[in-house]
């Protein structure tokens, strides 16, 4: 019990992005899980690193990776590679980074 309270107060003091503490739908009902929520758009994440990646590369930004064969765009290179392998099997893999 003491460690849960310590984690709660530590998280509230040192992370401005943590807005909720308690039961999470992601945790399957386990109490004591922290949800990391983006203060800008409200997306929730299980891991702090996922929230930090979202804030740095995704939140309120256009996707950085464009499919060279269609109009599909992705925030993460891996998702674009999966898209190409699934929908453009007969084409060679090419990933373009779009800087706008």
* pLDDT tens digit sequence for 37-72: 999 999 999 999 999 999 999 999 999 999 989 999
Question: Nearest 10 degrees: CA dihedral of 42, 46, 49, 53?
Answer: -40
Q: How far is CA 55 from CA 34, 40, 41, 58, 64, in A?
A: 18, 9, 10, 6, 14
pTM over 0.75: no
pLDDT beyond 60 at 82? yes
Scanning the chain, the segments in alpha helix (DSSP H) are 2-14, 48-53, 77-87
What pLDDT score was predicted for residue 79? 94
């Amino acid at each position: 019990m003491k460690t849960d309270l310590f984690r709660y107060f530590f998280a509230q003091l040192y992370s401005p992005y943590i807005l909720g503490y308690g039961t999470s739908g992601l945790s399957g009902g386990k109490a004591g899980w922290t949800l990391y929520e983006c203060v800008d758009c409200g997306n929730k994440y299980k891991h702090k690193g996922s929230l930090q990646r979202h804030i740095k590369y995704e939140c309120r930004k256009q996707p950085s990776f464009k499919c060279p064969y269609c109009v599909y765009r992705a925030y993460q290179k891996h998702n674009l590679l999966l898209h190409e392998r699934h929908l453009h099997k007969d084409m060679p893999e090419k990933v373009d980074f779009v800087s706008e």
